[in-house]
Amino acid sequence: MDFALSHEQQAIRDTCRDFAREVVAPAAEKLDRNHEFGYDIVRQMGELGLFGLPFSEEVGGAGGDFLSLCLAIEEISRADAGVGITLEAAVCLGSSPIYSFGSQDQKSKWLPDLVAGRKLWAFGLTEPEAGSDAGATKTRADSRNGSWVINGAKQFITNSGTEISAGVTITAVTGRTGDEPELSAIMVPTGTPGYHVLESYRKLGWHSSDTHPLSFESCEVPVENLLGKRGGGYRQFLHTLTGGRIAIAALSVGVAQACLDASLAYAKERHAFGAPISRHQAIQFKLADMAMETEVARTMVYRAASAYGHEGAGETTDEVRRLARYRTALISGWAKDPEFARLFGADATFDLSDHCDFDELMEVVELAGADQVYTVHGFTEDFARSLRRKGIRAWALEANEQLALAL
């Protein structure tokens, strides 16, 4: 078993690390405080080819592998997880379904701008009553006179409301097969009458990422906007979310590494009892734990990312992916632990009695709040835990069967 990154993978990681340090990090605080979307950063990530990393050269992509994309997301998220999720959602949730299930026409119409990062495509699965239980979709699309007429609502949809958002792929009920709803995926371009992007959320973190609720009122798109097979929506989103969740785990590793970097720097700089606190053994233990947990999570994520898309590795991917995402979500929870928060965020301490100013306190609260999202993406931590308890292996096999049917 070879754990070394290839020369190409190392080059991508190093390029993204430099880009994150030189371009993303200096802008991160302003974007976060002003709740701004980083258009210029997205343009530059497009020029670097990051939005096309895992796609073939035929569609303008870089022909790289999925691990390369995860390396890029990890490094960018080390500087700003809001920018990291913009890249993750654009590639894994926006472009990937079009790349994997789109017709030739759909691919040639949309992918050139998406893989170049000139436009962003969103993925609308979650609804007010369908989150972890995504199969409970209520949005309807009725086939009438050569069109799909869509009515319903989606929520928490990333990259749906920017100036460069080109559209969204939604899941909708298009009929029934016996007692079961027939779910299909339909592409809705921005600006279609009846498609409304509502006011963005006031989130606790990820302020440089764009997230909106959407509503559809008699929104009509041509039948050709069906993505993949009619009734294939459920299988398609399972496939889409598998890659998305590995990439989210990579994003969490980037955040964990950023926590470790900041903790280490602070522990060397902060003096107590006549020495930098890094000399006190209790602090050394915490730092050692953080370093170890980060590396364990990174290894799991790389293993899942390497297996993803390889024939015969589906079972490994599913299992490792779930563990990796769960593990990384837990360690990015450091931001919520007052002790770790004190270490890496001590400038903006939790200790209210220390006269810390409101903005600074909010930074820590935001990190703590933002971490919640690493557990929620795709489904919540509670749901993931209950799946594991019921027998992760059985579930993985079932999901794989569904996936095998879809492909």
Q: What's the CA gap between 251 and 80, in Å, rounded?
A: 10
| Sole window of 63-71, 126-134, 301-309, 349-357 interacting with ligand FAD (rule: CB under 6 A) | 126-134
Least separation in angstroms between residue 380's CB and ligand FAD is 4
Residue 124 sits in the site that holds ligand FAD (CB under 6 A): yes
Q: What's the CA gap between 324 and 304, in Å, rounded?
A: 8
Site string for ligand FAD, 54-93 (x = CB under 6 A): -----------------------------------x---x
Which residues, numbered 156-185, are part of the site for ligand FAD (CB under 6 A)? 156-158
Q: Which residue shows structure tokens 């409101």?
A: 358
Nearest to 264 by CA among 293, 284, 250, 292: 284
Strand partners, 173: 140, 183
Q: What's the CA gap between 238 and 124, in Å, rounded?
A: 13
Q: Which residue of this chain has its Cβ atom nearest to ligand FAD in the complex?
A: 131
| Sole window of 104-112, 140-148, 263-271, 377-385 interacting with ligand FAD (rule: CB under 6 A) | 377-385
Least separation in angstroms between residue 163's CB and ligand FAD is 18
Strand partners, 121: 167
Q: What's the CA gap between 97 and 227, in Å, rounded?
A: 8
Least separation in angstroms between residue 346's CB and ligand FAD is 27
Q: What's the CA gap between 83 and 81, in Å, rounded?
A: 5
Least separation in angstroms between residue 130's CB and ligand FAD is 7
Contact criterion met (CB below 8 Å) for 295 and 305: no
Report H helices in 332-380.
Answer: 338-344, 358-376
Q: Which of residues 93 and 348 has its CB atom nearest to ligand FAD in the complex? A: 93
Query: Applying CB under 6 A, which of residues 49, 78, 377, 406 lies at the interface with ligand FAD?
Result: 377
Query: Applying CB under 6 A, which of residues 15, 44, 100, 132 lies at the interface with ligand FAD?
Result: 132
Query: Applying CB under 6 A, which of residues 99, 101, 206, 344 lies at the interface with ligand FAD?
Result: 206
Q: What's the CA gap between 72 and 53, in Å, rounded?
A: 9
Q: Which of residues 97 and 378 has its CB atom nearest to ligand FAD in the complex? A: 378
Q: Show the beta-strand stretches assigned E in 69-198.
A: 120-124, 140-144, 147-158, 165-177, 180-189, 195-197
Least separation in angstroms between residue 134's CB and ligand FAD is 6
Least separation in angstroms between residue 376's CB and ligand FAD is 4
Query: Applying CB under 6 A, which of residues 268, 386, 393, 401 lies at the interface with ligand FAD?
Result: 386
146: left (phi over 0), alpha (psi -120 to 50) or beta: left
Binding site for ligand FAD (CB under 6 A): 89, 93, 122-126, 131-132, 156-158, 206, 211, 373, 376-380, 382-383, 386
